């Protein structure tokens, strides 16, 4: 791999890293504001996976000779600042609003993954990104389902499918 594609890959992975940081901020805020424990735990699980993804992305950037960014986007910072000024009941009066914020964030992350996977990447990096992208896609569908009023439990007959099925 020549130096120019490596730099291009590092830039794309850094953009992806920023998208993951933004998504983690949205998930963290949703976890804090979510009232129901089973929904809060589901979002916390996604947040834990994003932390692992960020660590893996940082290692991939270093392996390609780059320096991982350590900050979220300005958009995420502003969103976080405005949310901190509002009272909890006024920010997310119902569960769908929290899921909508997370769903938008995960959609941006999914687009960043798709752009990164379109580049010429070393096999080890590509393999890791593809596995992460599968998880992101599942989470994207799950958050959309929950935002639209879907259930986490099988009692409703319309619960989410199990991961990997």
CATH architecture of 3-156: Up-down Bundle (1.20)
pLDDT, residue 133, reads 94
Average pLDDT over residues 94-105: 78
pLDDT, residue 94, reads 54
Among the residue ranges 89-98, 112-121, 142-151, the one predicted with the least confidence is 89-98
Average pLDDT over residues 1-9: 69
Percent of the chain with pLDDT over 70: 73
Q: Quick check: pTM over 0.85?
A: no
What is the per-residue pLDDT across 73-99, written as a single tens digit (0 to 9) for each? 656 555 655 555 454 444 445 556 778
What is the per-residue pLDDT across 24-67, written as a single tens digit (0 to 9) for each? 888 888 888 888 888 889 899 999 999 999 899 999 999 888 98
What is the DSSP code string of the chain? Answer: --HHHHHHHHHHHHHHHHHHHHHHHHHHHHHHH--SHHHHHHHHHHHHHHHHHHHHHHHHHHHTT--------HHHHHHHHHHHHS-HHHH-SSHHHHHHHHHHHHHHHHHHHHHHHTS---HHHHHHHHHHHHHHHHHHHHHHHHHTT-BSSGGGS-BPPPTT-
């Amino acid at each position: 791999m020549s130096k120019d594609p490596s730099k291009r890959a590092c830039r794309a992975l850094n953009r992806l890293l920023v998208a993951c940081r933004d998504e983690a901020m949205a998930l963290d805020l949703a976890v804090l504001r979510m009232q129901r424990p089973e929904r809060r735990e589901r979002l916390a699980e996604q947040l834990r996976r994003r932390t692992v993804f960020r660590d893996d992305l940082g290692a991939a950037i270093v392996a390609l000779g780059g320096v991982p960014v350590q900050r979220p986007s300005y958009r995420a910072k502003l969103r976080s600042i405005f949310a901190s000024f509002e009272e909890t009941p006024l920010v997310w009066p119902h569960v769908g609003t929290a899921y909508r914020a997370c769903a938008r964030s995960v959609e941006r992350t999914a687009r960043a993954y798709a752009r990164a996977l379109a580049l010429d990447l070393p096999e080890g990096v590509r393999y890791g990104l593809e596995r992460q992208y599968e998880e992101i896609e599942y989470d994207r569908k799950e958050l959309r389902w929950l935002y639209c009023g879907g259930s986490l439990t099988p009692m409703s007959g319309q619960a989410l499918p199990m991961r990997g099925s």
